Structure 1
Amino acid sequence: MEAPDLAFTGNTMAMRRTIYGKAPLARDGAGGTLAFAGEANLAQSFVDLFTLPVKTG
């Protein structure tokens, strides 16, 4: 079985801080962000898929 191109590890809060809090990605999960294994550009592309709508009003 081949290893995946990208894998994330961390808990729900780490995911929220990384995706919605715009904390920078870190291979080791420093600062409570998601840790990832694989290519950094793939990891950033995945995170960029999740954007919050612009607040109006």
Structure 2
Amino acid sequence: MEAPDLAFTGNTMAMRRTIYGKAPLARDGAGGTLAFAGKTDLARSFVDLFTLPAKTT
């Protein structure tokens, strides 16, 4: 079986911190962030798909 180009590991809170909290991507998941294996540019592109709308006052 061929390895995927990108794989994420971590729990829901790690995903939220990385995607919405803008915690840095980490290959090892240090600091409770979402860990990934594979191509860094693909990981960044995936995370960038999830943006929160601008806050209104």
Q: Same fold (TM over 0.5)?
A: yes
Q: Percent identity of the aligned residues?
A: 89
Q: Deviations over 1:1-54 (max 9, x none)?
A: 211000000000000000000000000001110000001111000000000000
The equivalent residue for 1:54 is 54
SS at match of 1:56: coil
CA RMSD, 1 decimal: 0.5
Aligned length, in residue pairs: 57
Aligned to 1:4: 4
Separation (CA, whole Å) in 2 of partners of 1:20 and 1:31: 15
Matches within 5 A, 1:1-57: 1-57=1-57
C-alpha distance in 2, partners of 1:4/1:39?
10
